[in-house]
Amino acid sequence: MRNNLRFLYYALLTFLPLVASADPGLPGGSYNPSTGSFGGATTIQSIILIAKNIVGSLVPLFVTLALVYFIWGLAEYILESGEANKKEEGRTRMVWGTLALFVVISVWGLVNIIKDTIFSANSTSLSAPPAIRF
């Protein structure tokens, strides 16, 4: 348990700069702390674009975390193949990592489908996968 908390602590320290340097250029203007609003985010379209941007920014982080969790389970499964309970823990981690990858990518896809349905009904182009800008 203590090792899991230590891993979580270091993972948060590693990815915290990504959250701190988030792009404030949201549709409808940037965030105004004095009013607590996002400029012109008053229509349903601008709110959906904001949600899409937030989900699009978090998807690479969650995919990375799920992939690391899967690889951690794979390494435990291979390295601890002599002990049955450790091997089972590794298998469980791999299953949960795979499930997390599926859920994250599904949510990202659903948000894009909703956005494309509302904004461009005649569009047949695929949107690019999310990326972390440095």
Portion of the chain with pLDDT greater than 70, in percent: 62
Contact (CB, 8 A) for 41 and 47:
yes
Six token digits for residue 24: 């404030």
Q: Is residue 16 part of a domain?
A: yes
Contact (CB, 8 A) for 100 and 130:
no
Question: Could you read off the pLDDT of 110-132 as tens digits, one per residue?
Answer: 877 887 777 765 555 556 667 77
**pLDDT, average across residues 70-88:** 87
- DSSP state letter for 132: -
- DSSP state letter for 41: T
Q: Is residue 101 part of a domain?
A: yes
Report how far residue 94's alpha carbon sits from residue 66's, in angstroms, rounded to the nearest whole number: 9
Q: Is residue 62 part of a domain?
A: yes
- Tell me: pLDDT of 99 over 90: yes
CA nearest 44: which of 123, 118, 122?
118
Q: Is residue 7 part of a domain?
A: yes
What is the pTM for the complete model shown? 0.52
Task: Give the number of domains in the chain.
Answer: 1
- Structural domain boundaries enclosing 108: 2-119
Question: Could you read off the pLDDT of 11-37 as tens digits, one per residue?
Answer: 666 665 555 555 444 444 555 555 555
Average pLDDT, the chain: 74
